[in-house]
Each structure stands twice: as C-alpha cells, then as structure tokens.
Homo-oligomer: A and B are copies of this chain.
Amino acid sequence: MTPEKRLKALGITLPSPALAIANYVPFVRTGDLLVISGQLALGPDGKISDGHKGKLGVDVFNEAGQEAARICAINVLAQARFALGSLDRVKRCVRLGGFIASAPDFVALAAIMNGASDLVVAVFGEQGRHARTTVGVSSLPLDSAVEVEAMFEVD
C-alpha cells in the first residue's frame, strides 16, 4: 500500500493546507529534505476547536491532547502533499518535533505526542518511523494545545 492509499483506507481527507499565519512559508525544500513549519491543531474549518486550546493538565486532558497532536500531524501531511503533489514521494519521515502546551506538573507528554507519531506511522509504514523530540512549553500560537514540525526525506 502506498501512503496515499493508506491515508484513504484510514478515512482521512487532508484539509486545504493552512496558510502561514505570519511572514513565513509552510515548507522549504533544500536538497532531499523537506522542512515543514510548525503546524497547529487547526481543524478543517481553519479554526482550533475549544477542546484543543489551552494547556495539558489544566484545560486539555489525555484523549483531547492526543487528538490535537493527530490534527497537527494531519496538517503536516497536508503541507507535505501540497509541496510534493503526492505523499507517495516521501522517502522517510526523518524527524517530528512536538511542542505540548503544558502545566509545569504535566509530564505525560510522550503519550500526547503519540497522537501525531501513530498517524505518521499509519500512513507511511516503516518509512514513517521517525526521530522525535517532545517537550512541554509554556504557550503556543493561537493557544493551540500542540504544535508539530517535521522534516522529511523526499524524492
């Protein structure tokens, strides 16, 4: 199965890629690397639902946090497809960077970020297995609970 077919089998329709909310671009290719800007938990309507805003451990809890991370990953994939024409041109997901807006005592960060990692592995299979850094931060743009950036090796 190709990534595009797996995506379809998962029942996921990629949204229109989010526009950068400031003076930058959503992706840059350099050599064989595609660098994707940090993506927020913007839904298909271009807004972050209230359930995906705020801090883990205060406003957002486990399942909602994982869902927010999954939405960020979907937005990463939307940008990658827009950049490449097809996700089938991804050779490897090299790295995901996960930023989780968290109360200082919320440390179950890995489980939240799995919402993003699981989706990427579901779509790309073995080629989706990535290096990852997950940290809890004090705040994120637009009050998103999660932000995910990515680096892909591409065709």
Query: For A93, A96, A101, A104, which residue has the most chain B Cβ atoms within 10 angstroms?
Result: A104
Q: Does A89 interact with chain B (Cβ within 8 Å)?
A: no
| Chain A, range 104-118, C-beta contacts under 8 Å to B | 104-111, 113-114, 117-118
Please tell me if the beta carbons of B118 and A36 are within 8 angstroms of each other in the complex: no
User: Which residue of B20, B114, B133 contacts A37 across the interface (Cβ within 8 Å)?
Assistant: B133
Query: For A22, A36, A114, A140, which residue has the most chain B Cβ atoms within 10 angstroms?
Result: A22
Give the docked Cα–Cα distance between A129 and B141 (Å): 19
User: Which residue of B28, B97, B113, B118 contacts A133 across the interface (Cβ within 8 Å)?
Assistant: B97
Copies of the polypeptide in the assembly: 3
Please tell me if the beta carbons of B109 and A141 are within 8 angstroms of each other in the complex: yes
Please tell me if the beta carbons of B31 and A32 are within 8 angstroms of each other in the complex: yes
A-B contact pairs, 11 of them (CB 8 A): A24-B96, A24-B129, A24-B131, A26-B131, A28-B94, A30-B32, A30-B151, A38-B132, A38-B133, A38-B135, A136-B140
